[in-house]
A and B are shown apart, each in its own frame.
Chain A
Amino acid sequence: MHVIRDLSAWVPPQGAEWEPEARNLLEQFSSSLYSAQTSDYFLIAANDGQLIETWRRLPDSPAVSQARILFEQLLVEDQEDQPGVALRFFNLSRGSSAQLFDFAVDAFLSHPGWKLCFEGENGESMAFGPQSPIRRNYELLQTPLLQQRLRDLLELCDYNDLHIPIREILALLVNAVLGHSGNTCKDHIMVPADVTRIIAEGSVAKASIYNNLIGGNLRESRRESIGVFNYLDRFRLGHETTNRIDSILIFGEADEALQPYYDQYLGSDTFYGADASYRKAQSDYVESADEDLSNSRFLEMLVVQRRALFFKIPANEAADLHLWDLTVFRFAGEYLEKVVRTVHPTIKGRVDRHIVSRLVRGLNRVIVGMLINDDRKLCLGTSLQSTGAKVSRIYEDSISVVPSKGERVEIVWHGNKPALQVTLSEQISEVFPLNLVRYEFLSRVAEGALPSSFSKECYEDVLSFKSRLLTALKKRRKAEAVEGDEFILSFQRLRLDENGNPEHRTIQLNLPATT
């Protein structure tokens, strides 16, 4: 058994020769991958780049280059093994961030050091006493609701192919408890010595865990440089909202209908809810002119409060208050609950018909480039020039959504995420992996709006899926063609009727005799 713990130490510096021993061992490993009998076993830990670079630097031989191509393929295509190769390949950066979070938060909270802080004499001190934001944040981090919401966000990152390493999850937890958005703490992180001053100057609200969780306490450039905060930032928490949410936050105290919500989410939270500075800014805002400069301070507070709401609204009120409208992914909640947690291999459930229909309608609109309303069939159209043309005016075929003559459209589990599977016949099908962005994109298109912020990439993705579907259709036609059939030149014109349903008319041509 050979254990290589630090691969980079084995590679000679640029220009230097390989140590014969190191080189031989790695060559031995390379050949052993494809040999059935070996008495040597290897355990190697390395980073992605190191792995490729090491095998690039090794003197070339068939076994070495074969191994390099293998690693490349396993890495780029997210595979764990390959038939006939004696290798298990665990790509830790492809693990579930949500699962990592479960382990991390548990370890973080149960660390014995916390007891020393909060129990006994220290527990009475300013730094760790009942008024301390550090203590408050630590306690809030223990609440199941907050943990669940944060975990949902991380899980959604997983399904967006954004992978978060464990050290960044730990950084997130530390920042959640110790973050402070004021300028008085070094690096925007509180140390116990800061706490007395923070309480005295009344800037406890700036330590709000709800803001810290997504790196809101950090400067923008710093936030962008840390993967996990960069990813979480893409949810635009705090910047997305609804009229109802903002009404609660701004007018809730004085509005009879909204007051219960206000009390529940802001009034009762003496720490990070409506404290004195919030109430003052709020009343200034309501009474001031629009362009008043002092309003910007209140607007910043609003951002933090919206973030707080995202972590405070309980599951049973999530639908009523449109919780996920607080993010840019309005369909994220549905995606998690009704798609991911329904078709997951451990559950094997079926996704609601209306969800499949909505996605099909979205696909139809992108594929055909017209405002199609049909969601019972997937409509395939083409145009003249490139596959990428915006509008298709030639009808090719349509695929039934409900199972019919071997055709169907359904949501299945594919690899590590859900996918829309289009089956054209027993042998021919194509899948469109549904990451969160694509799911949101298709759902919004189906509802009639094209969100420009993330549409370009998705649009291209759908068009390349369209091109694969057209190739599949060609394959089916070929398989179904009867030999000796006469060639007829014909076109099918695609139009929408007044209800937005596609209709097509066949145009047949009489070829001139000479051709």
Chain B
Amino acid sequence: MPLMLMPMPLPFLSDSDLLVARPPKGHYTRMLFWLDEQIWGHRVYPQTPWLMFLECLTVAEYFFREGSLLQEPDSYPALVYQPRRRMRLRNILWNNELIKSLEDEKLDSNTTWNKWLDWMKENAMHVTDTDFSYLKGRFERFSDFAFLVGMLRDASVESESNKRWTSRFLFPFGANAIYEDQDLKGDRDFNNFTRTGELLYLMLCRSAAADSLRPYLHDFLKGDNEWNQLLTVLEREPEKGDEERKHSYLPYKQHPCFDALGQDWLNLFQLGLPNFDVLNHLVTLGAFHVLLYQLHVAAEWTGKAEPLTFLCEVVAPKKTLVREVSIINFQENNGLSGDAVQAYITRIQQSDAWQQALQLLTPADVFDGCQQVLQKEIWWDDAADYDRSHDPDELLDYLREKAQVRHQQHAGEVHRTLGRLIGLVSRRGTNKYRYAPTDGLLKTLIFANVPHRMELKEFFQVLYSRYGLVFSEREASLVIAEEEYDPKPFAANAARLESRLNSLGLLRRLSDGCAYVINPNGQSSQGHA
């Protein structure tokens, strides 16, 4: 199913059934105005894919505990949850450089335990009491404890990007490994958990596949494996968390992008991959769909008529036409979200409220009226630094500049940053960004889209219709203007993809230009057409 999007009415002009009522003003502090958030939600940031996934899981873990996984309450506020903090576990794992050096000292087990427990008494943070002696009875030797802690530490996620120990994360073996990010004082901040993961959770709740997805996500969180159980051994007792998190906002009750996301996750879960192998793929496609969501919504707001496409280069040794068009295509897509912000402001300008304000009697009233519209629509209260004339057009121009700058700092980075992190966007071999999917991304796409095997041509069609990805000449002919279209470079591009998939063991070539993409984890060969 192609992502053919319905044009969406603007939230502040209509109370369509497809829209979630926006939250009352005043939830959010430290904000100049609330604009990007009304287009995409509060909020879409260029969060790294793994952190987005983990943040999504902290929400899921709470509702798993409450027995209402992927069920969004009807009434506002949509999302109120109490994430786990697991400070004991985190002290043991991350606030604990001593443990390795103790192991090297090779003292007897008892002495080592005592040394370590003493150290923890002094140094453990953000816990009500610093007594960890319960651990001693649970392990036969200190070295066993140290070994397992070392294993867990090695299984950390995003360990390079975070220095502070309160922002180190465990690989999610199950619900016991999931906890919220904190700053060093033990409070929440939004540097790592930017709320985009919360939106990812909401998207899953609102996807058509939510019901089918629920049992899989449930089983994953249940974590029927020894590592998830080991974590209960490290904790003293189950934590009682009562700090509420809320105020996330996703404007659309439904969206084809949410459905596509849910379907991809479901497809991945259904493969039944061994161990925790599915997680990497969930992470990649979770972030990819957030990227797609942002661009699709932007396209709707700007009224872009052509379908959203990504012309992908399968990296060639030399510069090719595909690379050139991909660079241009990237730049066009990259500007789309900023255009949406401008389109939003244009819609304010065209709104009845604004037009009525313009009709007021004195210039002061007009200016005042316009400011009130902006206060109401985007909560721009603090226009104190506005020092230009009281001409409404100039006010709007000023807003346009401000909004663009604000957009570029965060939401405007999503397409490029997420694109790079999931392996869609690359600068390899050039100094300009373009779409050049990595082997890892291709593998994930095959896992999610090829139940067992699929003819390569059909695979190209699926990638095009589901994501807008263009590799071969056939799809390229649909999206490139006839006078600029040259099939040869795209045919070579497709051939490079074919040989790359072949070398990854993901393709079976028959003679005579016929090839099959193979999902090695796919269901048995008695498959369906």
Residues of A within 8 A of B (CB): 47-50, 52-53, 65, 68-69, 72-73, 75-77, 93, 163, 165, 382-388, 393-394, 456-457, 460-461, 464, 467, 470-471, 489-491, 493, 507-512, 514-515
Which residues of the other chain, B, contact A471 by a CB distance below 8 angstroms? 274
- Report Cα–Cα, A73/B518, bound state, in Å: 12
Complex contact B455–A52 (CB within 8 A): yes
**B147 x A493 contact (CB < 8 A):** yes
Interfacial chain A residues near B173, Cβ < 8 Å: 384
**Quick one: given A49-B512, A386-B277, A461-B505, are A508 and B151 in contact (CB under 8 Å)?**
no
Does B26 make an interface contact (CB < 8 A)?
no
A509 contacts B511, C-beta separation under 8 Å:
no
Binds A, one of B224-232, B342-350, B427-435: B224-232
> Chain B residues with Cβ under 8 A from A73's Cβ?
525
Name the residue of chain A whose CB is nearest to the CB of B232.
A515
- B516 engages A50 (CB within 8 Å): no
Would you list 5 pairs from A and B whose C-beta atoms are within 8 A, ordered by A residue? A69-B527, A73-B525, A387-B275, A467-B275, A512-B237
Q: Which residues of B contact A77 (CB under 8 A)?
A: 525
When the two chains form their complex, are residues B227 and A384 in contact, meaning their CB atoms are under 8 A apart?
A: yes
A387 touches B277 (CB 8 A): yes
**Binary contact track B155-189/A, C-beta < 8 Å → 1, others 0:** 10000000000000001010000000000000000
Apart from A72-B516, A384-B154, A508-B140, what are 17 other A-B pairs with CB-CB below 8 Å?
A47-B512, A47-B514, A48-B510, A49-B511, A76-B510, A384-B151, A385-B275, A385-B276, A386-B275, A386-B280, A457-B505, A493-B144, A509-B230, A510-B138, A511-B138, A512-B237, A514-B237
Instruction: Tell whether A394 pairs with B516 under 8 Å between CB atoms, given A76-B510, A387-B274.
Output: no
Q: How many contacts between A and B, using CB within 8 angstroms?
A: 113
How far, in Å, is A433 (CB) from chain B's closest CB?
12
Pairwise interchain contact B229-A393, C-beta atoms closer than 8 A: no
Pair B514/A48 contact, Cβ less than 8 Å: yes
Q: Which of A47, A73, A490, A512 has the most CB of B within 10 A?
A: A512
Q: Is B139 an interface residue (CB 8 A)?
A: yes
**Is the beta-carbon distance between A50 and B512 smaller than 8 angstroms?**
yes
A507 and B147 contact, CB distance less than 8 A = yes
Interface residues of B in 485-525 (CB under 8 A from A): 503-505, 508, 510-514, 516, 518, 520, 525
Are A385 and B514 neighbours in the complex by a CB distance under 8 Å?
A: no
Asked if B529 and A69 sit within 8 Å, CB to CB, the answer is yes
Assembly CA distance A387 to B274 (angstroms) = 7
Q: How far is the CA of A504 from the CA of B359 in the complex (A)?
A: 84
> Complex: how many Å from CA A166 to CA B141?
68
| Inter-chain contacts of A470 with B (CB < 8 A) | 274
Chain A contacts for B508, CB-based, 8 A: 76
Q: How far is the CA of A384 from the CA of B276 in the complex (A)?
A: 8
- Interface SS of chain A: helix, strand, loop or mixed? mixed
Give the chain B neighbours of A163 by CB distance below 8 A.
511
- Give the CA-CA distance A452 to B134 in the complex, in Å: 49
Q: Determine whether B148 belongs to the interface, using a CB cutoff of 8 Å to chain A.
A: yes
Q: Is B317 an interface residue (CB 8 A)?
A: no
In the complex, residue of chain B having the shortest beta-carbon distance to the beta carbon of A46 = B512
Minimum C-beta distance from A408 to chain B (A): 24
Q: B280 — which chain A residues lie within 8 A by C-beta?
A: 386
**Contacting residues, chain A, for B236 (C-beta < 8 A):** 512
Which B residues fall within an 8 A CB radius of A? 134, 137-140, 144, 147-148, 151-152, 154-155, 171, 173, 226-227, 229-230, 232-233, 236-238, 274-277, 279-280, 453, 455, 503-505, 508, 510-514, 516, 518, 520, 525, 527-529
> What's the Cα separation between A461 and B503 when bound, in Å?
11
Q: Taking the nearest CB of chain B, how far is it from the CB of A504, in angstroms?
A: 12
With A and B bound together, what is the CA distance between A165 and B276 in angstroms?
43
A164 → chain B closest CB, angstroms:
11
Assembly CA distance A507 to B139 (angstroms):
8
Compute how far the CA of A150 lies from the CA of B356 in the bound complex, rounded to whole angstroms.
89
Min CB distance B502 to A, Å, is 9
B279 to A: closest C-beta gap in Å = 8
Query: Which A residues touch B229, using CB under 8 A?
Result: 489, 511, 515
B510 lies within 8 A of A509 (CB): no
Smallest beta-carbon distance A205→chain B, Å: 33
Residue of A with least CB distance to B518: A76
- Shortest beta-carbon distance, B226 to chain A, in Å? 6
- Which of A50, A53, A460, A493 sits near B504, CB closer than 8 Å? A460
Does A509 contact B529, Cβ atoms closer than 8 Å?
A: no
- From residue B1, how far is it (CB to closest CB) to chain A in Å? 20
Question: Is the pair A382, B140 in contact by a Cβ cutoff of 8 Å?
Answer: no
Q: List B contacts of A382 (CB < 8 A).
A: 275
Residues on the B chain within 8 Å of A68, using CB: 529
Complex-state Cα separation, A53 to B456, whole angstroms: 13
- Distance, CA A69 to CA B280, complexed state (A): 32
| A512–B514 touching, CB < 8 Å | no
Name B277's closest neighbour in chain A (CB-CB): A386
A50–B513 Cα gap in the complex (Å)? 9
Q: Across the two chains, which residue of chain B brings its CB closest to A456?
A: B503
* Minimal beta-carbon separation of A124 from chain B (angstroms): 45
A53 to B513, CA, bound (A): 11
- Pick from A72, A382, A460, A509 the residue with the most CB of B within 10 Å: A509
The interface residues of chain B lying within 8 Å CB-to-CB of A165 are: 511
Please, which residue of chain A has its CB at the minimum distance from the CB of B138?
A510
**Chain B residues whose C-beta falls within 8 Å of the C-beta of A48 in the assembled complex:** 510-512, 514
B140 and A47 contact, CB distance less than 8 A: no
Contact B233 A464 (CB under 8 A): no
Contact partner of A460 (CB less than 8 A), chosen from B279, B505, B514, B516, is B505
| Chain B contacts for A72, CB-based, 8 A | 453, 516
- A49-B232 in contact given A386-B275, A460-B504 (Cβ < 8 Å): no
Residues of A within 8 A of B527 (CB): 69
Q: Which of B152, B233, B275, B513 contacts A509 (CB 8 A)?
A: B233
What are the residues of chain B within 8 A of A511 when measuring CB–CB? 138, 229, 232-233
**Residues of A close to B514: CB separation below 8 A:** 47-49, 52-53, 75
Name the one of B152, B232, B279, B504 contacting A512, with C-beta atoms under 8 angstroms.
B232
Question: A50's closest neighbor in chain B, by CB?
Answer: B512
Instruction: Say how far A384's CB is from chain B's closest CB, in angstroms.
Output: 4
